Amino acid sequence: MDKIAEFSPGGIATGIGSLPFTDPDEAVGFVIRYFSRAPHWPQMPRRGSEEYFVFQFLQPLVDSGLLIVKGDSYFFDASRPDWPERLTDFYSICLAAESGDALALAKFLPPVRAARGFHAFLAHLEKMDFDNVLFVKGQIAGPLTVGLNLKDQEGRFSYYNDELRDVIVRTLALNSRSQARALSQFGRQAVIFVDEPAVSAYGTRDHLTMTKEMIIEDINAIFRAVFLENALTGVHACEAIDWSILLETHMQILSLDAYRFGQSLGYYLQQVNDFLNRGGSVAWGIVPTLDDPFKETPDSLLDRLKGLLSQLVCCGPDIDLVIRQSLITPACGAGLLSVDWTQRIYGLANAVSARIGEPKW
């Protein structure tokens, strides 16, 4: 694969996305307090269903009438008589946005009512001192995760319907691009993470028709849209998966739950080393979110991380390269956790980040 665009985070810390707050200004302030060098916009699932991915990332499908919303249920209904007309209208907006039309692209931006954290984040960035900021981060649900959550009128996964899969991927790609454009206006590198936990479905008995090529193609479609805004791309997965899938995409940052599943990278050492040598970075989710963070200290987490990094170093790149191409994060989002746990998690991530470059490895 080609050389990846130069990006050397040097072990700085950032978050995955969701937080247990309902006040957007409080959530943004929390992020800035802990991750001032690499802040992310906060998703707030406790605000209710409006913060669900359907409204944050797929609103154009709702507006076009392709995606039906009934209470807390969401589904496609291609049996409707006006489906072809609605589909034509949707693609007209897509084509305009894909061609760079600013007004059309703005329709894909996360709406205020469903992503108050995003818009509060933008408002804060307008007043922020950027001298110490390396990048600003956005995030979006992945096409596989969305496609296995949304079904058609017959209860079938939309991911296995080529037409529905295409409208999902296009919508997510344009949402990602609109985020990247909005975040890039402040003169710092924008990074968009694709949160794709459902990649763990690959190879399972219930999803035998899912191919590696499908997953890679869809993720790369989102990346191509982000690259048009000169932003960087990452993928977050939170289980022990077939990492070769993501390592064969055009991502620039691999994000994983390293606390629970970091050892799973050991089966793909050559591919991970190739990824690092091409300029890729790894976001080590070394701070637990499913396990009690109060049972850990910066020292215990640093020791755990050293073990994972040593696994890479023994088979390829030197430790300086690995650290230069590393980020520190929580293992996953914190949207359903307590505030106390979240404070502890973000504090630990910050502390590990401050010490990752210390000598005596």
pLDDT at 222: 97
- Does residue 203 lie in a domain region? yes
In a domain, 327, yes or no: yes
> Which range of residues forms the domain containing residue 188?
24-355
Q: How many domains does the chain have?
A: 1
Q: Looking at the domain assignment, is residue 4 inside a domain? A: no
Q: Determine phi and psi for 359, rounding to 5 degrees.
A: -70, -175
Q: Name residue, tokens 């000598």.
A: 359
Instruction: Please tell me the distance from the alpha carbon of residue 235 to that of residue 139, in angstroms, as a whole number.
Output: 9
Length of the chain: 361
| Mean pLDDT rounded to a whole number for the chain | 92
Q: What's the CATH code of the domain at 73?
A: 3.20.20
pLDDT score, position 314: 67
CB of 352 within 8 A of CB of 7? no
The answer to whether residue 209 sits within a structural domain is yes
pLDDT computed for residue 321 by the predictor: 85
Q: Identity (one letter) of the amino acid at 86?
A: R
Q: Is residue 304 part of a domain?
A: yes
What is the DSSP annotation of 46-90? GG-GGGSHHHHH-HHHHHTTSEEEETTEEEE-TTSTTHHHHHHHH
Interior angle at CA 318, CA 316 and CA 322, nearest 5: 95
* DSSP designation for 317: S
In a domain, 287, yes or no: yes
Per the structure block, which two tokens stand in for 191? 């990074």
What pTM value is reported for the model?
Answer: 0.94
Residue 164 domain flag: yes
Residue 228 included in any domain: yes
Tokens read off for 179 = 């985020």
- The neighbouring-strand residues paired with 284 are 256, 328
Kindly report, residue by residue over 93-150, the tens digit of the pLDDT.
Answer: 999 999 989 999 999 999 999 999 999 999 999 988 888 899 999 999 999 999 999 9
Give pLDDT tens digits for 246-300: 999 999 999 999 999 999 998 999 999 999 988 999 999 999 999 999 999 999 9
Do 164 and 79 contact (CB within 8 A), yes or no?
Answer: no
Mean pLDDT for 175-189 is 94
